[in-house]
Amino acid sequence: MSDSSWLGGADGDRAVSVAGRALSYGELRERVQNHSLPPGAIVRAEHADPVELLVRLLAGIDQGRPVLVADPASPAPLPRAIPAGTELLLLSSGSSGRARAIARTAASWHDSFAPLTAATGIRRTDVVAPSGPLHVSMHLFAALHALWLGAELSFDPAGADVVHCTPTVLGRMLSSPRLPRLFVVAGAALPDGARAEALARGAAVTEYYGAAELSFVAVADAGGTLRAFPGTELDLRGGVLWARSPYISLGYAAGEGADTGSLRRDADGFASVGDLAELGAGGELRVLGRGDDAVTTAGSTVTSEQIESALDALPGVRAAAVIAEPHPVLGEIVVAVVELDSDLESEAERELESDTDAGALPGTVQARADAALSPVERPRRWLFVEQLPRTASGKLAKGALRQGLADGTIPFTEPGAPRNAH
């Protein structure tokens, strides 16, 4: 697959703008064609400069060499073995924090460019910005899609027409005086309030659901309802979502300390990462969260993601993580770990000046949560932290959170209990 199929702009069109520099499509093509790859069976693309990373990656694809894309601040070991046909190796830790090298063909991404364009309405004339580093797969995909389309790739979301981001980043950008024409959102469930606020300010929102191993699985319509992404078949088995498409990865590369991962396949070409879902008769998809992230309490099972989505929508909450804690009677209890929104805290406290029973904002959040959640979903323990740990892609790093709470490296305040001393 030559670089011409990845670079859709005319030679004189601007391809990339970053840190005051601009590169035309003609200049980018020339750099890719003249790029000399280092020796070795697998080529590393671990550049802090996004242009250098893209040149290395596209040159590797053009010359038929597998390329490993990784964080330059944390160089990854080369895999011992890779699946046949591997062209891209992308690291993904998910919420567990354990690194996995996901192998895929270049076509598994390239073939989804046209349907994504149709689903989102991204235009060749747009300035498109990923909101994170290119060693994160969703941002790398966004950059490559923009270049394929012939749009201008920017690394300044504040000035872009289209921004690819997580719901957390979207929430932060809503406080900006200028919004892009379009947000393309993935990585976690999108709160209804965030979508409504963006739309009220004239910014369209396209949400999609997928996984690093599966790529695109579903995309939301204008009303926010998820349906199968074009070219993808969905199947629900015992509440677990399976998908079949040309976009699915080849699997995991083998390496020292590599995680076995969550990807499962069957003989018919369907694959799953264990997400729980509901599938309506009309094809409506509701993703409930990862099966291994569920909490079974008092005989009922609830998914963390459902509760997190409800908590994230509450005034005063910047972000929330839900984890399970063993309980001798109930089996497990729901524990909410909350990062308060400091911009809202003083406003909420002013609203409560006359309510001596309400106390500070944490108590208000708890009361609002009780009203929004069913009894079995209500957290029985609340921990308030300065900042929740996240992966490079912006997802909650629950493995790091559990470890930090256990070893004291993440201090917390628990209403009704002494301040955590760590």
Give me the residues paired with residue 287 across strands.
277
pLDDT tens per residue, range 267-305: 999 999 989 899 999 999 999 877 767 787 876 678 788
DSSP 218-278: EEE-TTS-EEEPTT-EEEEETTEEEEE-TT---EEPB-TT----S-EE-TTS-EE--EEEE
**Nearest alpha-carbon partner for 88 in 28, 139, 137:** 137
DSSP 21-49: EEEEHHHHHHHHHHPPPPSSSSEEE--SS
The span from the CA of 224 to the CA of 102, in Å, is 29
pLDDT tens per residue, range 175-221: 999 999 999 999 888 887 899 999 999 999 999 999 999 999 999 99
The span from the CA of 387 to the CA of 412, in Å, is 10
Burial class (CB in 10 A: 0-12, 13-18, 19+), 335: buried
**Nearest alpha-carbon partner for 290 in 183, 365, 375, 214:** 214
pLDDT of residue 350: 44
Q: What are residue 82's phi and psi, to 5 degrees? A: -130, 150
Q: How many residues does this entry show for the chain?
A: 422
The span from the CA of 151 to the CA of 339, in Å, is 37
**Nearest alpha-carbon partner for 103 in 83, 81, 77, 79:** 83
Tell me the CA distances in angstroms from 327 to 253, 295, 297, 330, 333, one per residue in order. 38, 11, 9, 5, 6
Contact 126, 181 (CB under 8 A): yes
| H or E element that contains 290 | strand 285-290
DSSP 189: P
- Strand 264-265 and strand 271-272: pairing? antiparallel
| H or E element that contains 301 | strand 300-303
Report which residue type is found at 94.
G
Residues of the chain with pLDDT under 50: 96, 256-259, 345-359, 418-422
pLDDT of residue 176: 94
The encoded tokens of residue 179 equal 């919004």
* Vertex 338 angle, CA 335 and 344, to 5°: 150
* CA 298 centroid distance within chain: 31
DSSP 114-177: HHHHHHH---TT-EEEESS-TTSHHHHHHHHHHHHHT-EEES-GGG-SEEEE-HHHHHHHTTSS
Domains in the chain, CATH or no CATH each: 3-288 (3.40.50.12780), 298-407 (3.30.300.30)
* CA 2 centroid distance within chain: 29
* Vertex 149 angle, CA 144 and 152, to 5°: 75
pLDDT of residue 396: 85
Q: What are residue 395's phi and psi, to 5 degrees? A: -75, 155
Report which residue type is found at 277.
A
Contact 341, 365 (CB under 8 A): no
Contact 138, 392 (CB under 8 A): no
DSSP 307-337: HHHHHHTSTTEEEEEEEEEEETTTEEEEEEE
Contact 140, 393 (CB under 8 A): no
Question: Considering all CA atoms of the chain, what is the largest pairwise distance in Å, rounded to the nearest integer?
Answer: 71
